[in-house]
Amino acid sequence: MANSKPGALTWGMGAVWLGVVLAGTFLMVAYANTPGEAGTPPASWPDSSQLPRNPHRATLVMFIHPHCPCSRASIGELALLMAHCQDRVEAHVFFVKPAGMTTEWTQTDTWREAAQIPGVTVHRDDEGREARRFGAETSGTTELFDAKGRLVFDGGITAARGHYGDNTGLDAVQALLFHELAAQTNTPVFGCSLFGCDAKSSP
């Protein structure tokens, strides 16, 4: 009987450890698949935007929180899109800079990665003014406007937070740029709040 006690204790500790691991895994998966707050994009290009729109081709705008780790995947997917569609779209990425933050706070590795994508122009969005004009709430929000300024897609171009790979949003944008039908024109955005405090805030 004395020998059975350590064995029972070991099994009990193992069960507790397994429970903790499973619970942690479940929470991580749930978080990765939980979209951010949906925005309210305008049906057409906002007249108040300071960004000139090219009337001869489609325009894509993406809004990023510079310290959102999930948004690296959005930038990575944008790079893939531009590799196939650079001659069909003007792409702009806005990095939100809250009041009181320095320019250096905004210019993170994610900024530099976006700036290196051929055909993409990167902007600092002071106090998120452009993001608000375009109704964006979550980092990674992507909006595509046709040559007439009509919104034809809004949402995210990743399948989950920080997830690289095939996804409905990216497929939809690419299809629209090739004048094909898109399975969806609105998808969830997986990222941190552009205006909240759920993204890492230190440089």
Q: What is the pLDDT of residues 176-190, one digit of tens each?
A: 999 999 989 999 999
Please spell the DSSP secondary structure of 125-151, one letter per residue: EETTHHHHHTT--BTTEEEEE-TTSBE
Domain covering 58-177 assigned CATH 1.10.1240.10 in the classification: no
Tokens of 167: 């996804």
10 Cβ contact list (under 8 Å, min separation 6): none
Lowest mean pLDDT among 60-74, 131-145, 170-184, 187-201: 187-201
121-140 mean pLDDT: 97
Domain boundaries, the chain: 58-177
Say if pTM beats, i.e. exceeds, 0.85.
Answer: no
